[in-house]
Amino acid sequence: MHRPVIAFLLALFLSAGAWQQLRASSSVHEAGLPDLPALVAHADWIADFEILETTPLLRPDGTIATQVVASSRVPLKGRLASVQEFTLPGGAVAGRGLHIPGMPALEAGDRVLLFLSQEDPEARWRLPVGLSAGTFRVLETGDDGPWVVGAARSGPDSPLEALSYDEFLIRVQQEVLRQREG
């Protein structure tokens, strides 16, 4: 599918504010490492979440969304409770589905580090900043500690590029502090 067609379909499902946030924040450096200044700048919430529950919703306006209940294991930016609820566009319910290219599929038991946008006042959902660019899977590998794998680079045809969880968290924390002070 061509980019203009995807852009048109996304524009149909996203409010104007959410669409502008998505377009402004979908940057990833050429080296495959995330553009942390852009991700942090556009994120309202940043945290290491454990997904506790996902519930598909068919909304009164006919759109499909997924309600997510998650434990905020390590909050990094924003006012986050220990258990947080947020809604993502897309999902499957009542024999219907809405797939948004680049939107991460979250399931109970997943552990992800998310950079989430502000809640859209019209649609009442949050988006991962840059969709997959703002989504990082946390993988426990045993003795050498957890690793972070960017969802944008973890598709079946992409080489698996893992970053040290601890080092990545430090980089994110430093960028949050830099932007807060600047």
CB 161 within 8 A of CB 148: no
Q: To which residue do tokens 């859209």 refer?
A: 120
pLDDT digits (tens, 9 = 90+) for 9-63: 444 444 444 444 434 333 333 344 578 999 999 999 999 999 999 999 998 888 8
Instruction: Tell me 34's DSSP state.
Output: B
Residue 149 domain boundaries? 3-181
Residue ranges with strand state E in 61-167: 64-77, 83-89, 91-93, 96-98, 111-116, 135-140, 146-150, 162-164
Please give the structure tokens belonging to residue 72: 């905020």
Size (the chain), residues = 182
pLDDT digits (tens, 9 = 90+) for 136-178: 999 987 777 789 988 654 445 555 567 899 999 999 999 999 9
Q: What is the pTM of this model?
A: 0.79
Q: To which residue do tokens 């946008």 refer?
A: 117
- Whichever domain contains 68, its CATH number is 2.40.50.120
Total domain count, the chain: 1
